[in-house]
Structure 1
Amino acid sequence: MFDSRHIRTFHEVVSTGSYSAAARALGYTQPAITQQMKALERSVGVPLFTRAGRGLRLTEAGEALSRHAEVILGSLNAAQQQLGALSRLRAGRVRLCAFPSANATLIPEAMARLLAEHPGVRVELLEAEPPDSVQRLLRGECDIALAFSYPGASGETPSELVEIPLMEDQLTILLPVGHQLARRHAVRLADLAQERWIAGCPRCRANLLQVCAEEGFAPDVVFTTDDNLAVQSLVAAGVGIALMPALVLSFMCHRKVTGRLVEPHLRRQVCAYVLREHLRVPATALVLDELRRAAAARVGC
């Protein structure tokens, strides 16, 4: 295995033509240069120089190493510059996988601040509902995963991951604007027992069935989709009502749909997940900080 310091010294000896000239250029003593070249020759296994009068001549092995030395040193310099840029957050790439309502709310707010302060950092945005987002993280397909969970849901965070709580997202009832309960500030879940329902992703559907069971009824689920825009249109058309997170209300587009608080109050926990060792990666840590700031700004909204 070559020592990069020895390669740099060898390149300087070849460039200047002697040990003494290389010593002056590098600020070493001549014996230090001699010892480095002997150590390099031991690593290579063959002599690199022969004496030619008062000068040095490269052996065949020395000529071969000389052809590669400049490329090696160029690659090392490029690597040092790139790593320096990454550590100073002038560059970097982070793959972020999140669920749709987070992609439409938390992510844009976090990324706007990130790019304003660190324009060289790039984020690749992926989309998946939990637990698929966390599984993608475990498979190495992303660097940060955003996921949500409901109270009482089973499951533990894998030991290799760090869970970072971001916020609690309150659940609301999505109703057509002409619905008889739309005039209320809050709607009791039990008053919706006779309604038709639109369910979301498997995790959201399971939560809907559970909270309705706790209120003494089984919801009549007539349609299932994890497309938030489709849910709005279905509610507006009178197909059914939906239990939706408050994050969705901030980008609700349909004028014929309104959201109301639900009683008892229901919430989901939104967390970021990252591999433990990735917390030390500057760009990843920066994105996590911006996600925390974006989530904190929404608490109480």
Structure 2
Amino acid sequence: MLDTRHIRTFHEVVNAGSYTGAAKSLGYTQPAVTQQIKALEREVGLPLFARAGRRMRLTEAGETLARHAEVILGNLGAAQQQLQALSRLRAGRVRVCAFPSANATLIPEAMARLLAENPGVRVELLEAEPPESLHRLLAGECDIALAFRYPGMNSEVPPELVEIRLMEDLLTVLLPVGHPLARRHAVRLTELAGARWIAGCPRCRANFLHVCAEEGIEPDIVFTTDDNLAIQSLVAVGVGLAVVPSLVLSFLNHRKVTGRALEPHVRREVFAYVLREHLPLPATTLVLNELKAAAAARVGC
């Protein structure tokens, strides 16, 4: 069995290129690093480094271990984080990571009811677009992740996670209030073929390009940002138009911008994700139930 302390020291030596550099990074003395590498070589049964003049190089065994060391340490770190998350959840503390428009809509509505009925629960809110939010969940940095998926996107869920469908979110187009089509209830994408556009996060941008391609349009994207308030201001001053989820209309607060239904209709699905072993915990159940209720209320509006 390899000692993970020795593997961590070996990993630092490889990254630093020397025992001295690894010692500085780890806060060890150089002799201590040397002793740990010698101990690891005894565990492996093969030399890991060889001298090439004044430089050190990895042996074949060293190259093999170097390829696995980062994965081993990464998995160990994720395990430690997930155990800490389990401890947090048992204490009634929940970290929720969601994308911006959910943080501005579903989360406040769910948290208001949760804290009114369960004041002992403590919630920490993080923000990330998918798939980063799912990576943070798997790494143990959060306990519940909210993410969305457009039609045709990869729907494979890691086996460690449980996927809970919350709602569908219809896409809309943001127009300046003085736009010729702003009086219409719905706008066809082909009617905006010559427009300049503001694109959102990478996943939203990819879906927008896909929808445009299906309509035979090559959009002129002049600006890219995932800041929904910035998008509203850019639309208001005529920089471009934007396709956004209907959730954004809930906090559309720019008097010079209006939202109209987009044709053809495009919907994204919104999901909550949780580690399978954390699903039965009371704090997790409470938060998920309130998220479901908040999503159901929006669908019913």
Query: Shared fold (TM-score greater than 0.5)?
Result: yes
Give the aligned CA root-mean-square deviation in angstroms.
1.3
| CA distance in 2: counterparts of 1:279 and 1:118, whole angstroms | 18
Show the counterpart of 2:190.
Answer: 190
Tell me how far 1:285 sits from its aligned partner.
Answer: 1.0
Distance 1:156 1:180 in 2: 42
The Cα of 1:200 is off from its aligned counterpart by 0.1
Letter in 1 for 2:254: H
Alpha-carbon offset, residue 154 of structure 1: 2.1
- 1:249 matched to which residue of 2? 249
CA deviation vs aligned residue, 1:162-210 (integer Å, no higher than 9, x gap): 0000000010000000000101000001111100000000000000000
Distance 1:287 1:264 in 2: 35
Looking at structure 1, the residues matched to 281 and 99 of structure 2 have their Cα atoms a distance apart, in angstroms, of 23
- Find the residue that maps to 2:279 and give its secondary structure: helix
CA distance in 2, matches of 1:219, 1:291: 35
Per the alignment, residue 136 of structure 1 pairs with 136
Q: How does 1:153-168 map to 2 (within 5 A)?
A: 153-168=153-168
Once residues 283 and 248 of structure 1 are traced to their aligned partners in structure 2, the CA distance between those partners, rounded to angstroms, is 28
Counterpart residue number, 1:152: 152
Aligned partners of 1:252, 1:283: CA distance in 2, in Å? 32
Which residue does 2:27 correspond to in 1?
none
Number of the residue aligned with 1:210: 210
Superposition deviation, residue 281 in structure 1? 1.1
Cα distance in 1 for partners of 2:197, 2:300 equals 27
Partner of 1:55: none
In 2, Cα distance between equivalents of 1:96 and 1:227 = 19
The aligned residue for residue 279 of structure 1 is 279
Number of the residue aligned with 1:14: none
What corresponds to 1:270 in structure 2? 270
Which runs of 5 or more structure 1 residues have no equivalent in the other structure? 1-85
TM-score where L is the length of structure 2: 0.70
C-alpha distance in structure 1 between counterparts of 2:92 and 2:160, whole Å? 23
| Paired residue secondary structure (1:222) | strand
Residue aligning to 2:106? 106
- 1:216 CA drift (Å): 0.6
Equivalents in 2 of 1:181, 1:153: separation in Å?
A: 31
Equivalent residue of 2:174, what SS? strand
The one-letter code sitting in structure 2 at the alignment partner of 1:189 is L
What one-letter code is carried by the residue in structure 1 that aligns with 2:108? P
| Structure 1 residue aligned with 2:224 | 224
Counterpart of 1:273, as a letter, is Y
What is the CA deviation profile of residues 15-61 of structure 1, one whole-angstrom value per residue up to 9, with x for unaligned ones?
A: xxxxxxxxxxxxxxxxxxxxxxxxxxxxxxxxxxxxxxxxxxxxxxx
Query: Which residue of the partner structure matches residue 53 of structure 2?
Result: none
TM-score norm. by structure 1 comes to 0.70
Give the letter for the 1:94 counterpart: V
Give the letter for the 2:203 counterpart. R
AA of the residue aligned to 1:104: A
Deviation string 1:122-159 (CA, Å, 9 cap, x unpaired) is 00000000000000001000000000010001241101
CA distance in 1: counterparts of 2:161 and 2:190, whole angstroms:
38
Q: What amino acid maps onto 2:116 in structure 1?
A: A
Deviation at 1:280, TM superposition (A): 1.3
Q: Which amino acid aligns with 1:259?
A: G
% identity of equivalent residues: 79
- In 2, distance between residues paired with 1:193 and 1:153? 24
Q: Which runs of 4+ in 1 moved over 6 A?
A: none
- Letter of the structure 1 residue corresponding to residue 103 of structure 2: N
**CA distance 1:96–1:287, change in 2 (3 Å):** same
Q: Tell me how many residue pairs correspond in the alignment.
A: 214
Cα distance in 1 between the residues matched to 2:300 and 2:263: 17
In structure 2, give the amino acid aligned to 1:226: D
